[in-house]
Amino acid sequence: MIGPEHDPQEVTRILFQDFPVWMMVAFYVAGIAALGSFAYGTYAQIRKYRRGARSGAWSPFWPRFIEMVRTVLSHRTVKRRDTAAGITHAWIFFGFALLFIGTSVITLEYDILEPLTGLRFWHGSFYLVFSLIVDIAGVALIAGLLYMMYRRKWLGLPKLDYARPDRTPKESDYDRSFYRREDWAFLWTLILIAITGFLLEASRLLWLQSDSTVWDYRWWSPAGAVTAYVLQGIGVGPDSGANFRMGLWWFHGLLAFAFIGLIPYTKVKHIFTAMGSLMAKDPDAMRRLPMADIDQEKIGIVDLIDLSDKYLLNLDACTKCGRCHEACPANNSGYPLSPRDLVLSLRELANDKLSGARFPDEPIKVTGEGVNRIRPETLWSCRTCGACTDICPVGVEHLPMIVQMRRALIEEDEFDPMLQPTLKSLQKSGNALGESKRKRPRWTKKLDFTIKDARVEPVDVLWYVGDYASFDPRSQKVTLAFAKILHDAGIDFGILYEDEQTAGNDVRRIGEEGLFQALAEANIELLNECEFKSIVTTDPHTFNTIKNEYPDLGGTYPIEHASAMLERLIREARIPTPKKLPYRVTYHDPCHLGRLNQGYEPPRQVLSKLGVDLVEMPRSKGNSFCCGAGGGRIWLPEPPELQKPAEIRAREAAGIDGLEVLVVNCPKCLNMMEDGVKGTGNEGNFRVMELIELVAEAMAENAPGADEAEAEPIEQV
């Protein structure tokens, strides 16, 4: 690398070359001021987080730290569903990181090691390789920033316009144009730092082109060398290069110091808060909601300081990328909910009330009317489908925050009056449909065999049927078909008859934590009195809660969704080999089975065994679009002026050429999607069928009494 005519010690770059002493002193004063600003801002941010409730979310530390490092280095969460943005963000991240490391290495030698020990390493081959790496990093940084500028300015992505669905233009907190200005300031500051760095490098090369220890090794700084030739082509020589260098040094240096000093106060802090948020991320945040002590004076998030330190960090970690905004079914349907805007409102409220030196004297409510407070109608718009929490690249947990704010609203009786009959029915009879407990097992009378009573005799499989599967006439057809399949497969199964109650998934997600815990504890007590090896259910909501939430209350049971059992029974030849069905179908992933519990493959494997022509929906698996039933929304009427999520989904299915069957795998999805198909005028174009119905048809079996089920309508409360 170094020619024999040169001493490796001389192949280097001398800092502050030809600087007078006062300039060096001024440089260090500016640097110390920037570090002081950074240190105080960091302290103020940590003080803000510590004013929230303690979460203990960073324990155990090292496993979480290692997982965070893997996520950051792989950029896997940033690349999801937006590969171009993920790759270019990686260019920015790694480019910036390498430039930061490079600057730190120079500081380490010049200000610490050499003065204290005389050790020098920033010369010779190390210096040349260092220059090459830093140049490549700078080019990657600029390329990534240019793409992000193009993306914001010319692609015109709606998710980046920061339009709020929960406010009107007349309200003082509607305008969020300052976020756009902040985004552009961030991009321009970084790109100017990088470009002036190359110009500084080029002007130094021109200034010292007569020095062979500099000029002969110019191509180890390829971007700087190319820039030097460009400057030379427009008439910049050694003298003007020297003058240009001096001015650029100060512009570049002061800009970099300003960037450092402003990190804790601007979007730039997401570099650190995103890492902390990813470390604190609960992998079960969507499927297992936080427990609440229902004996406490208040339940849920009432005041700002009820937000945990983790959630306050989540608010600052948000990069406003809009992926949650784009994925949210409520937002897509015109409801006043954007998960991003909910987070930003809470962030602005926290910055306003918790960032000062004094702790607020009065409680600060997070819900209600007023600037940056979350409106009840915003919270009740949520389907708790988890799409926002799942897609967030920095680990923001929108769903648990929303549910905990709902808990506070329930405690204060601030909920839709239409929920009142449902809650009364749940308290009285253990189901949401207003039906008598005695009617729960009535569907079994339509079978030509008797289902065991798991309360009084041992069974291998306890079937937790669920509300809609027990009472809804359309869902009863599926229930009867599944019972026949289990019987034909020789499965030793039973049900809880009239003692079964709702498992409580949607009760918990509307925020009725006290009722959920009462239902769950009663169900666990009943299950513990029964003798069985495993549980099966056709309802993904029931599946999720028994699997993931009952263990917190002392009820841990092996449980399987019906689709997984069907796949296993077919694979093990426990049921007759299904005949091939000549249908062109698409499959709708239920949120609670798919996104929340990764139950993507068993239903598709069953469809493959049935021989159907499966065409995936444009949004499928983790990107599946909610039918709209979750979070208790199935119990509330949809405003006629707004789209229904199920209608959006039905139109999506209708775009598949030759579609004959839209396959669902959840009683609530069945209910909602049939309405969606009718509402979009597609009932004559394709059918909605449950996966179980397709299996029954392939087995050439019809559910006994299916027609009669239609004759007994549900009596709503």
- Clarify whether residues 659 and 694 are in a common domain: yes
- Residue 711: pLDDT band with limits 50, 70, 90: very low
Residue 566 has a CB neighbour count (10 Å cut-off) of: 29
- Clarify whether residues 386 and 424 are in a common domain: no
Residue 222 maps to a domain: yes
Taking only Cα atoms into account, the Rg of the chain, rounded to an integer number of angstroms, comes to 31
Give the domain-ending residue among 381, 415, 449.
415
Mean pLDDT, the chain, rounded, equals 94
- Clarify whether residues 242 and 349 are in a common domain: no
What are the pLDDT digits (tens) for 16-52? 988 999 999 999 999 999 999 999 999 999 999 999 9
Residue 75 maps to a domain: yes
Range of the domain at 319: 289-415
Residue 383 maps to a domain: yes
219 in helix, strand or coil? helix
- Residue 578: pLDDT band with limits 50, 70, 90: confident
Residue 284 maps to a domain: no
- Residue 360: pLDDT band with limits 50, 70, 90: confident
- Clarify whether residues 672 and 528 are in a common domain: yes
Give the domain-ending residue among 375, 398, 415.
415
Question: Residue 703 above 80 pLDDT?
Answer: no
What are the pLDDT digits (tens) for 650-694? 999 999 999 999 999 999 999 999 999 999 999 999 999 999 999
> What's the N-to-C CA distance of the chain in angstroms?
85
Neighbour-count burial for 446-481, b at 16+ CB within 10 Å, e otherwise: bbeeebbebbeeebebbbbbbbbbbbbebbbbbbbb
CA 564 centroid distance within chain? 26
Q: What is the pLDDT of residue 340?
A: 97
Of the candidates 385, 289, 300, which has an alpha carbon nearest to the alpha carbon of residue 335? Answer: 385
295 CB burial (10 A radius; 0-12, 13-18, 19+) = exposed
- Residue 713: pLDDT band with limits 50, 70, 90: very low
Give the domain-ending residue among 216, 249, 277.
277
Cα–Cα distance for residue pair 59/280, rounded to 1 Å: 8
Query: 349: domain CATH number?
Result: 1.10.1060
- Residue 507: pLDDT band with limits 50, 70, 90: very high
Question: Residue 702 above 60 pLDDT?
Answer: no
Over residues 582-602, the mean pLDDT reads: 98
Residue 26 maps to a domain: no
Residue 510 maps to a domain: yes
Over residues 53-79, the mean pLDDT reads: 96
- Clarify whether residues 310 and 225 are in a common domain: no
What are the pLDDT digits (tens) for 262-288? 999 999 999 999 999 999 999 999 999
What are the pLDDT digits (tens) for 137-164? 999 999 999 999 999 999 988 899 898 9
Q: Which helix (H) or strand (E) is 581 found in, with range? A: none
Q: Are strands 493-495 and 452-453 parallel, antiparallel or unpaired?
A: parallel
- Clarify whether residues 657 and 545 are in a common domain: yes
Residue 558 has a CB neighbour count (10 Å cut-off) of: 12
Token pair for 482: 């599944």
- Cα within 13 Å of Cα(376), Cβ side: 16
Rounded to the nearest 5 percent, the helix, strand and coil shares of the chain are: 60, 5, 40
Residue 714 maps to a domain: no
Q: What is the pLDDT of residue 701?
A: 42
What are the pLDDT digits (tens) for 227-264? 999 999 999 999 999 999 999 999 999 999 999 999 99
Cβ-proximal residues to 224 (8 Å cutoff; 6+ apart), any chain: 131, 135, 198, 201, 202, 204, 205, 218
542 CB burial (10 A radius; 0-12, 13-18, 19+) = buried
Residue 118 has a CB neighbour count (10 Å cut-off) of: 7
Q: What is the pLDDT of residue 716?
A: 34
- Clarify whether residues 397 and 457 are in a common domain: no
Q: What is the pLDDT of residue 60?
A: 95
Give how many domains the chain has, as a whole number.
3
Question: Residue 309 above 70 pLDDT?
Answer: yes
- Clarify whether residues 131 and 149 are in a common domain: yes
Over residues 534-560, the mean pLDDT reads: 98
- Clarify whether residues 481 and 627 are in a common domain: yes
What single-letter amino acid sits at 652? E
- Residue 710: pLDDT band with limits 50, 70, 90: very low
Residue 32 maps to a domain: no
Cα–Cα distance for residue pair 190/256, rounded to 1 Å: 9
Question: Residue 709 above 70 pLDDT?
Answer: no
Share of the chain above pLDDT 70, in %: 98
- Clarify whether residues 299 and 269 are in a common domain: no
Share of the chain above pLDDT 90, in %: 92
Cα–Cα distance for residue pair 133/99, rounded to 1 Å: 9
- Clarify whether residues 256 and 398 are in a common domain: no
- Clarify whether residues 501 and 404 are in a common domain: no
Question: Residue 490 above 80 pLDDT?
Answer: yes
Cα–Cα distance for residue pair 474/697, rounded to 1 Å: 16
